[in-house]
Structure 1
Amino acid sequence: MTFEDLRDYINFMLKRGKIVQIDDEVDVNLEIAELSRRATYSHLPPLLFTNIKNYREWKLITNIFYSIDAVKEILGVDNLEDIGKNFLTEFQGIPLSLIDKIKSLPNFLKLGKIMPKSGKPKFKEREMGLESFPALKTWPKDAGRFFTFSLVVTKDPETDVHNVSVYRIQILNDKEALMHWQAFKRGSLAAAKYKEMRINKIPVAIVNGVDPVIAFTAASPVPPGIDKYLFAGILRGEGVELYKLDNGILVPSSAESVIEGYVDLEDLRPEGPFGDHLGYYTPVDYYPTFKVDRIYIRDNPIFHATSVGKPPLEDAWIGKAVERIFLPFIRLVIPELVDMNLPEYGLFTGIGIFSIRKTFPGQAKRVMMSIWGNGQLSFLKFIIIVDADVNVHDINQVMYAIATTVDPARDVLIIPNAMNDSLDHTSLHPPLGSKIGIDATRKFKEELGREWPEEVKSDENVVKKIEPIWNKIIGKYLPSK
């Protein structure tokens, strides 16, 4: 699916009767967020607010990613795993950065229309400040109003690879905001490189209101080194049109708004509290300050926001889509991996369930270590490994596997002083915390000390003989089956 911009997506949804337009006056202070959460919990389609108190110039959209089917519709696929599989088969050896494409002409020609391209901006510079944006206060004790689904664009100073991510941004005043990029996020890692080069003011752009495919890409853990604009082009089937700002940052030319500026790494200020996706307020901590140089905006602008809190909200459905899309990538590193489930109520960085084809003793613990060394999966606090015949998406099957294969002293692995989610309030000194791995696979003789017991199975001849009798029973007493 290719949308020209956010407006094109809204028109697409309007034609299908899948936009809930709200013309009643609503306030950015708690009211929009409350309505948005109720809509997501109820699996309603996107909400388009047209009458925002004190922000008459704006429309505001929330709840774009309201279900897993909504993500499939945006990406134009029925099977999300096919995206990862097609990427791996069609684009091996792709150039990782926008500069590398020049050095790799054959690959550049191969990629064709999905490469980023230059575009004429639809926005224009305006004299306005951050407080003119209808950013939301989502929970009563939040420190203020936050950008919650704006894209933060940075550039790696060594490779020129652009990173596009979603970080919450707390507005301080018209010219300043706080950039909440956590340790080991790509924006923070780029900042560390600038700091090593003794550059403390790094170019940044805050972008809002883009094609939802680009927004989804920004929220996804694209493999390190791959330019997210390039990956968005692969998902869209067409390259993203970009415009180069004066600070050297490339931004989507069809964005509803762009804030050009820099992050001052030496200007750290207290950020938060903020009611986050764990369902708790994250406490105050120090983060660097973003400072505005210029603001660009389209006529009759549309602002994109989300409300986070206890699952399942929009981030849950983005997470489930990411799980499916990136499964083929993880299988490259862990070939014995069959399937995985990052349950939405496990908060994606909390609990992960993985099935493997087990062929040798100790393999489950080896896989745990591989998972904890793999990108965003490294933040998982609980890992459960089961056999290939266990459906990881059926929690009852997983519970049965744990109950019938696990001896806690032998099969539970606890790792202290490891890196977890920075928002994990259960740790004394986040992001430093502990991890637990559970080997819920059937054990080899070397692991158990004796042969694993034989599982019960029905007699095949008896099954064939009673089948007609059983069919009569279910036909009479279970007709709906």
Structure 2
Amino acid sequence: MQDVVQWLKDNGNLKIIDEPLDVELEIPHVAYVEVKTDNSRPILFTNPVNKAKGITYEMPVLMNIFANKDLTEKIFGKHPDTVAEGIDELLKLKPPKGLKAKLAMLPKLFSLKNVFPKRLKFKGECQEIIIPKEEVDLDRLPILKTWEEDGGPFITMGQVYTKSLDGEMQNLGMYRLQQYDKKRLGMHWQIHKDASHFFDQYQKAGKKMPVTVAIGGDPLYIWCGQAPMPHGMFELLLYGFVRNKNAQLVKSITNDIYIPRDVDVVIEGFVDPEVMEIEGPFGDHTGYYTLKEPFPVMDVETITMKKHPVFQATVVGKPPLEDKYMGWATERIFLPMLKPMAPDLIDYNMPENGVFHNLILAKIKTLYKGHAQQIMHAFWGVGQMSFVKHAIFVGEDAPELEESKALAVHILNRLDKCKVLITQGIVDHLDHSSSEQFVGGKLGVDATGDEVENGVETLLSDEVLLEKIQEISSSVVGLKQYMTETKTPICVISVDKQESQLELIHKLKGFEKHIKLLVIVDHANNDLDDAYMLIWRVVNNIDAGRDIILKPFIAIDGTNKSEVDGYEREWPGDTFCTKEVLDRLQEKGLIDIDEAFIKKFGLLPF
């Protein structure tokens, strides 16, 4: 994949837009709309500009590289399940007995030599142009500002290479990088990540930390950067395993960090452990803004690049986005690595509208009472799985995990509040729903058993049930029931919230003959007919320890929280497109959307 653009023309139905478009909002909005379409394509913007700064950039912007499943599989060169099979074989490898077995193992062992990155002693294509410190100007790069309320432009597909203080470990991570000015970047490595752990080492030693950021090259590099590798393992080992060839690395010009020779742009620098600066806000992959917070700052020493570089970027916000397809590959490939700590795990699925870490579905071979709870705790105690907030487990008789409708029926017919586990644990740095940052509620649902005996005693129509509830509370605006054919119909109500919804749930005592599972959302910006986005909203908005009530029925408060809930942190806003930008792009014929599309994906407030 020496020429990614040409490869995408040949293999990915690349869309090319020659119209001059602004890196602030316009380019990101086009990419954001495109990736939500049924036939999403990668896009090359050949004429990026910055109207506010009066800049016309010399390099194009490439987005939506992981535009769909088919293209993602082509990038890997094989189905992710095939990669997983190879990993599974390695994990089960045993010392051979006898000459014949040893000879049979030789091809596998020989291929492993390609896993390890190879350090070259000469400069790479990424160093054809070297810009010295005194001439460094980040404004030469078409760095995007995605959302109107973003704190500034952000590099969104940066491969951030760091190393431990003793030089024994190297890490590749995918972290957003805010451009502060011509020579400084904010380093948003979250507190639980390896790069942040390395930073702690340098901070304690009082030494500046070298950092090299790469942009572009083989798209597999950026996938490796977000892969949940075990601590201490260099992510580019995965590259070698998937490609069956060594990642070829060259030394950075100003530090000892090695990066792939074929990336397009390289930004080298140092982080002073004594300097922190406010980073954000930023409309993140949760579909919410992450708030302002101090993070380390990278002082850029040099920028190097190819003679004809391409600037790779991604856009994050409300699902679905290209991280849907990157996450799909990750999910498939890492299944064998989960099985050693949960041997009876058959399969798992992390739906993109659960923002991955907010919801996991797992199928297990149930061998004894409490088995599902055992695996729940195993998940919550290992690596990046520890950030999962809500886990639903089904048995081996359940439908395939991606058969969402059939699976929902299966789960709701087995939902028993006696098998609902609510506990506490670590939550992701980006989680906004917990009352305390980094620690929050966890939900585990054991739906592995037989169907429950009783359903709703008296199932009312939506209209009648809404009328009865409105007699109790005038704050209730709308109501829709889902899955009424199951033992546990889902009753979703929308409210104009004035008080804690625990008060409303308490007032509904006596409605248990009509309701078994109640979900409450705000009336604003929620469409009761859009189950996909309702799931996104609820799993983002709840802390299980605070917002799930099991009496008189299971009730989930998915509303935005405030002081009426005893919530004292700042609650972030949704990522919304800018209407004027959408209108302008529509007039130019660069996007084709209607009101239904806008509402379906929550592009604008309603």
Identify the TM-score tier after normalising by the shorter chain. Answer: 0.7 to 0.9
Deviation by residue 1:301-360 (Cα, 9 ceiling, x = unmatched): 210001111001011211111111111111122110011110010000100010100011
Q: Which amino acid aligns with 2:198?
A: A
- Structural mapping, 1:56-455, within 5 Å: 56-77=57-78, 79-90=79-90, 111-119=112-120, 120-122=123-125, 123=127, 124-126=129-131, 127-158=135-166, 160-196=168-204, 198-245=205-252, 246-390=254-398, 391-408=400-417, 410-416=418-424, 418-442=425-449
Whole-angstrom distance in 1 between the partners of 2:12 and 2:329: 23
Contact 1:55 1:132 in 2 (8 A): no
After alignment, is 125-134 or 288-297 more displaced? 125-134
Matched, 1:41 2:36: yes
One-letter code aligned to 1:81: D
1:91·1:111 contact (CA, 8 Å) conserved in 2?
no
Cα pair distance change 1:270/1:231, threshold 3 Å: same
Q: Deviations over 1:226-265 (max 9, x none)?
A: 2112221111221111111231101111111111111222
Q: Take 1:92 and 1:264, find their aligned partners in 2: how far apart are those partners?
A: 44
CA–CA separation in structure 1 for the residues paired with 2:177 and 2:187:
5
Q: Deviations over 1:121-145 (max 9, x none)?
A: 1123113322221110000110100
Of 45, 50, 59, which residue of structure 1 is paired with 2:46?
Answer: 50
Q: Is the 8 A contact 1:201 1:265 kept in 2?
A: yes
C-alpha displacement of 1:92: 7.4
Q: Give the counterpart letter for 1:67 in structure 2.
A: N
Report Cα offsets for 1:257-294 as digits up to 9, x if no partner.
11111122221111111111111111111111111111
Q: Identify the residue that residue 29 of structure 1 maps to in structure 2.
A: 24
Structure 1 residues 269, 38: CA separation in 2 closer, same or farther (over 3 Å shift)?
same
SS at 1:221 equivalent = coil
* Structure 1 residues 69 and 433: CA distance shift in structure 2, 3 A: same
Instruction: Answer whether contact 2:203 2:274 (CA < 8 A) is retained.
Output: no
Report the AA paired with residue 202 of structure 1.
M
Deviates more, 1:373-382 or 1:183-192: 183-192
5 Å matches for 1:457-468? none
Task: Give TM-score, length-normalised by structure 2.
Answer: 0.67
Judge which range, 8-17 or 268-277, deviates more: 8-17
SS at match of 1:385: strand
Q: Cα 1:239–1:365, aligned 2, differ >3 Å: closer, same or farther?
A: same
How far has the Cα of 1:110 moved from its partner? 5.6
Distance in 2 between residues matched to 1:413 and 1:194, nearest whole Å: 40
Q: For the residues of structure 2 that align with 1:372 and 1:17, how far apart are their CA atoms?
A: 37
Task: Give the conservation status (yes or no) of the 8 Å contact 2:116–2:237.
Answer: yes
- Does structure 1 conserve the Cα–Cα contact (< 8 Å) formed by 2:136 and 2:301? no
CA 1:234–1:30 in structure 2 vs 1: closer, same or farther (change >3 Å)? same
C-alpha offsets along residues 6-52 of structure 1, whole Å, 9 cap, x if unaligned?
xx222122234611111110110100000111111113221111111
Gaps of 5+ in 1: 94-105, 445-481
Structure 1 pair 27–89 and aligned structure 2 pair: CA distance change class (3 A): same
How far apart, in 2, do the equivalents of 1:50 and 1:330 lie?
Answer: 42
Separation in 2 of the partners of 1:354 and 1:398? 11
For 1:265, give the aligned amino acid: P
State how far apart, in whole Å, the 2-side matches of 1:322 and 1:350 are.
16
Classify the secondary structure of the residue corresponding to 2:148: coil
- Report the TM-score when normalising by structure 1: 0.84
SS in 2 for 1:299: coil
CA contact (8 A) 1:401 1:441 kept: no
Displacement after TM superposition at 1:91 (Å): 7.4
Q: Which amino acid aligns with 1:80?
A: P
Structure 1 SS opposite 2:413:
helix
Gaps of 5+ in 2: 50-54, 94-106, 452-606
Is the Cα–Cα contact under 8 Å of residues 178 and 289 in structure 1 kept in the other structure?
yes
Q: Distance in 1 between matches of 2:167 and 2:447?
A: 42
Q: 3-state SS of the aligned residue for 1:430?
A: coil
Task: State the shift of 1:223 in Å.
Answer: 2.6
Distance 1:257 1:367, change over 3 A: same
Which amino acid in the other structure matches residue 35 of structure 1?
V
The separation in 1 between residues aligned to 2:327 and 2:178, in whole angstroms, is 23
Tell me which amino acid in the other structure corresponds to 1:58: M
Kept after mapping to 2: 8 A contact 1:384/1:440: yes
Percent of residue pairs identical: 35
Query: Are the structure 2 counterparts of residues 435 and 57 from structure 1 closer, same or farther at C-alpha, using a change threshold of 3 Å?
Result: same
SS in 2 for 1:290: strand
Match in the other structure for 2:600: none
Shift of 1:379: 0.6
Specify the code of the residue in structure 2 equivalent to 1:242. L
SS of 1:85 mapped into structure 2:
helix
Q: Work out whether residues 32 and 321 of structure 2, in 8 Å CA contact, stay in contact via their aligned partners in 1.
A: yes
Displacement of 1:159 after TM fit?
6.0
Query: CA–CA distance in 2 between the matches of 1:164 and 1:302?
Result: 20
CA distance in 1, matches of 2:48, 2:441: 44
SS at match of 2:231: coil
Taking the aligned partners of 1:159 and 1:335, their CA distance within structure 2 comes to 35
Number of residue pairs aligned between Structure 1 and Structure 2: 424
1:385–1:39 distance in 2 versus 1, CA, 3 Å? same
